[in-house]
Structure formats: structure tokens, C-alpha cells
Amino acid sequence: MIKKIFGSTTRSFDIEQPVQVYKRKSAIQILPANDDDKSFKKSIKHTFKTIEDESEIRKAIEQNEFISHIITDNRFQAISRTIYSQEVQAGETIIQEGEIGSQLFISALGEYEVTTKSGIKLQFDDVRVFGELALLYNVKRKATVRAITKGKLWVLDNQSFKEIIERSEEEERNELVSFLSQVPTLNTTNEDNLRFVADLLSPQFFPTGTEIIKEGKHADAFYILRAGSVRVKTKNKELVTTLTRGQFFGESALINEESSNETVIAESPGCECLTLSRKYFIKHFGEVSDFQKLSVTNQLKKLSISKDANFVDLKLEHFNKIRTIGAGGFGSVDIIQHKTDKNSIYALKYIKKYKYVLQEQRDHILNEKNIQLNCHSPFIVRLYKTFKDTRFLYFLMEAQLGGDLWRLMYNKRRKPFMEDDAKFYVACVIEAFEYLHERGIVYRDLKPENVLIGHNGYVKLTDFGFAKIIGTNRTNSLVGTPDYIAPEILCNKSHDRAVDCWALGILIFELLTMKTPFQSKSSHDTYKLIMKGIVFCRFPYFISSKCKNLIMKLCSKRPVDRIGNWRNGMKAVKSHYWFSNFNWNHLKAFIMRPPYTPKLTGPLDLSNFPHCMNNPASVPEVQTSTWDEDF
């Protein structure tokens, strides 16, 4: 099609790299690709450390602005136990530029030097974290690190790290669900709904003596005790009861807004509660009576699994290749023409099978096929049929001859879009997201390069290599494009459709400014800014307050706070006042005038694509494996 093909040029932040503002963005993906396959996990070994060792490790992590957001206090103890020591000799290479990294290092003793092929060089002898991107994904190192003297390192393996994060997150969520299942107001519903409620809970600390709820005052929140205890009293009775960890109070606030008939006071040395306000609960679920009847699973629509009769008998030999319009390490995209029906023009994407054998990304390619083949939305590029031979897998797709949104903005216009124009393109993406999310599909790779322009000027979503059917569940893996990755993915947390809401906010910003809000000179700095959040971004003066408000709501740091991730999904985004004068019915009826309509001279006008050459030497080897039997 009209994009980079599966190329995953990853960047490390070991050495900063200058930014190229108009460079097309590449995706990254952690390995192994099957993010829900636990078979790769190994048993975690614990290593003894002294109090001084743990203090040294903690200090190094806290001083690293990026990794401190990921290894938080509640995770530190479990992760610290898996960090092991490694002695190094003078002259020993710890990290080699160009090799795939899978470990984070902390220098404990010794002196070290950092060099690159480009000549960048520095030395250090303090306690510091380096090589930290390796915790997130299997990245090529951008520098060489050698020991100048004999020394000692602390080492954290990325698979152990990932397992601890997943395990601790799941254990914590299960504990919260267990607490919630004891609440009469909530326990008449199913476990899936309780998991959604668990995501809404926010920790809050109350010092000794704090009156969390006061008798006679309006009570507007529900509380679960996570640590410490509280004393419950009334005017007539000094002590009614004492509540401890796992117990709850204020649950009636979820049902009505009546005054409390009790006072709840934090006891020494203070207590931590998980809180949920009535207003917040209603925003996500409606009234409690609505919540009790809610079945999120049953609300999901199903994909229309069917074969298009017009394509059943088509074979590759029925087509002539016109030109290659995209090429990358994983394959290429050609525009092809039916030999007898000259008006039948398609895009044929073909990928090298051996790449997926070597990199174990088979599930992703099968996901792409199964999802896109069965998506029937006018805002999603159609996949009509797939083929295979001993070297390639082929996708016969709808051709969008207008190019992509990235090329339109950066190569043709060379200037950002005005808000009304950007609004049209964003609306098309929202329609695509609404279709996907209603069917329990998360997309995970939004960017202008993946938004294709048709002959009529309307745009469609393409490249479903990272898409996945998750239903009401979550998924784990670091996939996506660095500038568009949501903070929960960077933190190795499980994620859902909220990551698409985040990416939508980033897209709006880029269309209006020709840069992403967290764009920096290196991936490291980009990730640090993402972890800080959108509230620290500087918005240009020409972005309207309405638009800024929508971006801020889409890019809320907490996934549950993002507009589009509430109970009414993308309908909430459509109802936002930035779209107050936008006619959604006209858009869906294709009677709205697009900002740009490509001037095509005919079905073979490929002027909106770059000229790409296939390298004969890159013909892949024959594959005899049977992993693609169902392709």
C-alpha cells in the first residue's frame, strides 16, 4: 500500500540522536510477538542484597528520569530481588553498538567509557542506569560501553522485568476485584464489570485524625481501605466500629447523594484508601441500577465473517504488476491491474515468510489477515483476499491512489492543516475507531502514514499488523510508534482501547502543528516527556481552546480518564464541543466536501507515490515450515 512496510527501525536512547522532523515514523515491537503467550517465561531467581545494595540500586533508579516512572515504589521490592551483580574486567565490553540488547545495567563500581561509530565519547564513574531501553523492547544498541577499570554492575533482565510487571499488575487487580465483590451495592454484577470498577479506583492518603466522612455532611465517594485503619463514630456513640485493610465505607454514596449518618476518622499513623466518587462512577457506568444490569461483553458487535464471492476464484496470475509503491525490510507493496478487467486496480502487499519464522511474529500477521479481511467499514481499507507461496504471504487490498496523510502534509502542502480541515480527517479516523472498538478490536498503530487518501478525498485506516481482538480484556506488549505510544504501554502495563484514544489526541496535534507533542531529539527524551504527560506540553497559540480541551481529554495520563474510553466509547468524542458544528451524517453519507481531492488522470495514476525499486538480491529463501497453514 502507501506506507513503510513493516520496517521496525528501533532507536535506543543510550546515545542521543538528532531529530529529523520530516522523517516517516517507524514502528517498534517487543519480542516475542505473542504477547499473551506465557510459555517464554522463566522462573524468576531472587538474589540476596544488603540494605546498602538496595539503597544504591533505588537511588540510581530514582535519579533516572525515565526508568523511575516505570520502576515505581510499589514495584521496586519485587524487581530489586531479581537484579543480580556482575563483575567486569578492565577492557571488557558490556554493550556492543549494533547488537540487540536485553538488559539494563547499573554501574556500582569502576570507570566506564561510551563510544559510537560517529565518534561520540564520554566517561563516567558514578552510580547510574544505562541501557534502559532494553527493558521495553529488543533494541539495537546505539553505543558501545566498555569498562576502563575492573568494576561491578547490577543487571536486570528484560524478561524477568516483564514477568514481574505483568504478575504484580494482575495480582493487584485481582485483589481489588476481591474487595469489590464484598460490596453489596456492586456484587450483583459479573467479574468483568468489577474489573472496570477496579480501574477507576484512585489511591488517597489520609493523615491521622482526618475526618474522611463527616456525619451530617454530603457524602460523595466510596472508599476501600488499602492500608491502616479508620474509626467509625456517631454523635451518640464515640466508637461504632474499627475498619481495617480490605474493608469499605461510604458505599451508599454510589446510590444517592444523601448526608452521611456516620463520621469516619483516620487512625494513627494514617491510612491509604482507594476512592471512587459518585460523579466518576456515573460518568463511566450510569446509575448503580444501570451498572448492575450491565453486560459489557454482550454489548460488543461481531465481525461479519464472510468471503466476497467476486474474489473467491482470483489468483495471482490474473494480475499484472504496474509498479512498486512501497518497500521495506519485511516486504513490498505493488499496484497491480487485472489482466482482462483493466479498471480493476488493487494494492498487493507481500511480506517475506522467513522474517516471521525468525522473529516469531506469526500471530501478528494472522491477526492482521483475520481482522482486516472481516472489517467492512467505509473508513477502513478493504482486504479482499490473501495468497501464499513458498517465499511470500500476499494481501490483495483496496487501492487508495491519493497517497497517505503524511505525504500530503509533509511533501505536498509542506504546512499543517487548519482546524476545520484536520477535523475532517480526524472524524474519518473516529468512524474507523468506533467500528473497531465496538467489536472489541484495539488498533495500536495510528499515525498519518497509516491514513490513506482515496480518489474522493476521504481517508481510510490501513496496516492492521498491530491490531488485536481483545473483547473486554486487556493485552500486553510494547507495540506502536514511539511518538504515539501511550504511557501505560511504556510502563509495561496491560492496555486496551484507551491507547487508541491517546493516539488520536497525538494525531490531532500533529495535523495542526506538523510535529508530535512529545517530539524530542531522542527516543529516550520522547519517552520521558510521554511519562510526564500532556499537561506539560506547550500548545501553539493558534490551537483553539476547544481543540486543546479535546486533546487533553484524549491524552489523559490515566486510561480510564480518556474521552473515548468511557461507557459510550467514541460517541463521547463525537459529542465533544470541538465537533459542535460538524455534520456526522453528511460525513457517513459521503456528501461532505473533503479539504483535498487528489487529481487523478485515471486508474493507473500513481503520481502520489514515491518510486521504489525492488532489490533482486533481497529475494527471500524458500520456507517449508507450516506455520501459515491457515493463512
Q: Which residues are annotated as a binding site for ATP?
A: 349
H helix intervals, 118-246: 158-180, 191-200
> What's the CA gap between 251 and 255, in Å, rounded?
8
Residue indicated by cell numbers 517465561: 41
* Full DSSP string of 428-458: HHHHHHHHHHTTTEE----SGGGEEE-TTS-
* Nearest of 224, 626, 106, 570 to residue 379 by alpha carbon: 570
* Nearest of 253, 281, 264, 177 to residue 228 by alpha carbon: 264
In 10 A of CB 579, how many CB atoms? Answer: 17
Q: Write out the catalytic residue numbers.
A: 445
Cell numbers given for 339: 489482466
> What's the CA gap between 54 and 52, in Å, rounded?
5
Say if CB 512 and CB 417 are below 8 A apart. Answer: yes
Q: Which residue type, as a one-letter code, is found at position 144?
A: T
Cell numbers given for 519: 517530539
Cell numbers given for 603: 486508474
Q: Which helix (H) or strand (E) holds 480?
A: strand 479-480
* Full DSSP string of 372-383: HHT---TTB--E
> What's the CA gap between 340 and 313, in Å, rounded?
14
> What's the CA gap between 468 and 361, in Å, rounded?
13
> What's the CA gap between 266 and 205, in Å, rounded?
9
